[in-house]
Structure formats: structure tokens, C-alpha cells
């Protein structure tokens, strides 16, 4: 459950499924994941983007081995203490894997609450509302229903208010006015263009490194940044700082 949630962060589910299956087949337990090299993990991860998530997951499994008997922790505080695990992921694991009565807040659920109350909501306020509404013993079902409702009926664009089963209780539908959802914390914002971005250049270099080492002097060509030396060096330095690559005497490689 933790692997799927981390993989799904900012990534479409149809891209996640085959990678998740391959990852779990290769590393079925936290211990096996922790014992593997980061290079092995990144090889499977390649194509999902945001490789910091992979590094954080690797570090998280190492902490599980050291401090949690090689098991995924079962408390909110312990989950939040894992590298790269935030409020949403921690609560999703508790609700969907362990059936703990906690509210899971994603962009869809935030949008529903903001519209029903007809006011922009802060992150902490939204979480308090979510936790207070979970029916005892039904956290899995409740959170899934809310997410699906927000994604399909109370959608960001063209919400189906005429078909909404709670329209009579929705203050935004009743009173109208400006949609409060976009001004709420945690609602999705348009993502920067991928084509020509640093994310794309980083991805090209990481893909090449999966196949083998790349001379640092050739990295500009790999990233298609031949005429942007400063930008290419900044990207390489950011990958080195994130410990996602290593420089061995001018040869860029995935870490062992």
C-alpha cells in the first residue's frame, strides 16, 4: 500500500500499475527493498518521474528495518517520521491498508468540503473536518466514496450539480458566487509545462544512466542542452545533491 501511494503522487495511475507490479515482484518486503541498491530501485522506477520519491522510499524501508522490525509502521506519527511521507500518504496507508478511522484529504475531497461549506478552507481546517466525519469502522469505504464523488460528480470543471445527491445541502450550489475550491489549500494547480522543462531534462539523463554511465561532458547532449551549459550543470548538481546520481571521476552513474 505504501509503495502504491508513493508511486501515485503526481503520476497517472495507468503509468503506475505496471511499475508497481514490477517493483513489488522485485522487492516484495521492506527488508528486500532496503537491502537492494538504489540503482536497482531507480531502474524499475525509470519513467515515473520525480525520482526523489524512489530515494525516499528506499530510505524509509531502511528505517523500517532498523526501527520497526522490517514492517510498515501502524501509527500516524511513525508513518510521518518516514522520509518523504506526508499527511496524505500516511493517512491513506492507515485508512486503506489498516482500516484506521482517519480522514484522507486529497484535492477532490478538499473541493467537496469547500463547496459544501461555500468557503475557502485551510489545510488544517480541512483535515479536522475530514477526521470528524469518518463513520466508525468505515474509513476505507467513506474515504473512497468521497474521493470518487469529488472526481466524478463534484469535479473541478463542469461539476454535475443537477445530478448531485447532496445539492440541497451544498451552500455553494444554493447561494452561488465564486467557487471557493480553487482558493482552498491542497486543491490542484495547473502543472508547469513538461516539454522543455528541467524535469524533462532530468528524466532524459536518468533514463540514460539506467542503461549505463554517462560522461559528464556528454550529459549536455543527453539532456539536449548543448547550448545551455549553465542550466545543464545546475541540473546535474541538483541530482548530485539529491543523491540520485554520483560522479566517479567525471563519469555520472546511478548510486550503488
Q: What is the pLDDT of residues 212-243, one digit of tens each?
A: 999 999 999 999 999 999 999 999 999 999 99
State yes or no: is 178 an active-site residue. Answer: no
Contact indicator for 255, 248 with CB cutoff of 8 Å: no
Give CA separation, 203 vs 23, 116, 163, 194, in Å.
Answer: 19, 40, 42, 11
- Is a pLDDT exceeding 80 seen at residue 188? no
Residue 191: predicted pLDDT: 61
- Cell numbers for 65, please give them: 528495518
Give CA separation, 13 vs 4, 5, 40, in Å.
Answer: 9, 10, 22
Residue 1: band (very low, low, confident or very high) from pLDDT cuts 50, 70, 90: confident
The closest alpha carbon to 106, from 191, 16, 186, belongs to 186
Contact indicator for 150, 109 with CB cutoff of 8 Å: yes
5, 78, 141, 237: the active-site residue:
5
Residue 189: predicted pLDDT: 60
pLDDT in tens, 72-130: 999 999 999 999 999 999 999 999 999 999 999 999 999 999 999 999 999 999 999 99
Amino acid at each position: 500500500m505504501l509503495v502504491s501511494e508513493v508511486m501515485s503522487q503526481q503520476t497517472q495511475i495507468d503509468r503506475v500499475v505496471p511499475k508497481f507490479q514490477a517493483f513489488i515482484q522485485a522487492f516484495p518486503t521492506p527488508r528486500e527493498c532496503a537491502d537492494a541498491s538504489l540503482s536497482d530501485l531507480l531502474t524499475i522506477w525509470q519513467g515515473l518521474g520525480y525520482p526523489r520519491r524512489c530515494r525516499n522510499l528506499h530510505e524509509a524501508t531502511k528505517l523500517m528495518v532498523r526501527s520497526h522490525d522490517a514492517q510498515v509502521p501502524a501509527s500516524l506519527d511513525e508513518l510521518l517520521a518516514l522520509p518523504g511521507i506526508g499527511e496524505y500518504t500516511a493517512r491513506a496507508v492507515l485508512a486503506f491498508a489498516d482500516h484506521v478511522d482517519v480522514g484522507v484529504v486529497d484535492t477532490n475531497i478538499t473541493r467537496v468540503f469547500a463547496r459544501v461549506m461555500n468557503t475557502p478552507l485551510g489545510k488544517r481546517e480541512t483535515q479536522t473536518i475530514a477526521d470528524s466525519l469518518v463513520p466508525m469502522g468505515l474509513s476505507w469505504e467513506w474515504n473512497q466514496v468521497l474521493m470518487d464523488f469529488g472526481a466524478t460528480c463534484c469535479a473541478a470543471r463542469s461539476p454535475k450539480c443537477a445530478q448531485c445527491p447532496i445539492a440541497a445541502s451544498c451552500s455553494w450550489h444554493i447561494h452561488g458566487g465564486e467557487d471557493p475550491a480553487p482558493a482552498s489549500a491542497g486543491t490542484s494547480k495547473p502543472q508547469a509545462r513538461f516539454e522543455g522543462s528541467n524535469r524533462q531534462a532530468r528524466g532524459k539523463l536518468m533514463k540514460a544512466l539506467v542503461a549505463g554511465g554517462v560522461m559528464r561532458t556528454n550529459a549536455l547532449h543527453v539532456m539536449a542542452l548543448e547550448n545551455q551549459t549553465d542550466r545543464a550543470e545546475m541540473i546535474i548538481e541538483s541530482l548530485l545533491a539529491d543523491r540520485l546520481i554520483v560522479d566517479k571521476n567525471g563519469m555520472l552513474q546511478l548510486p550503488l
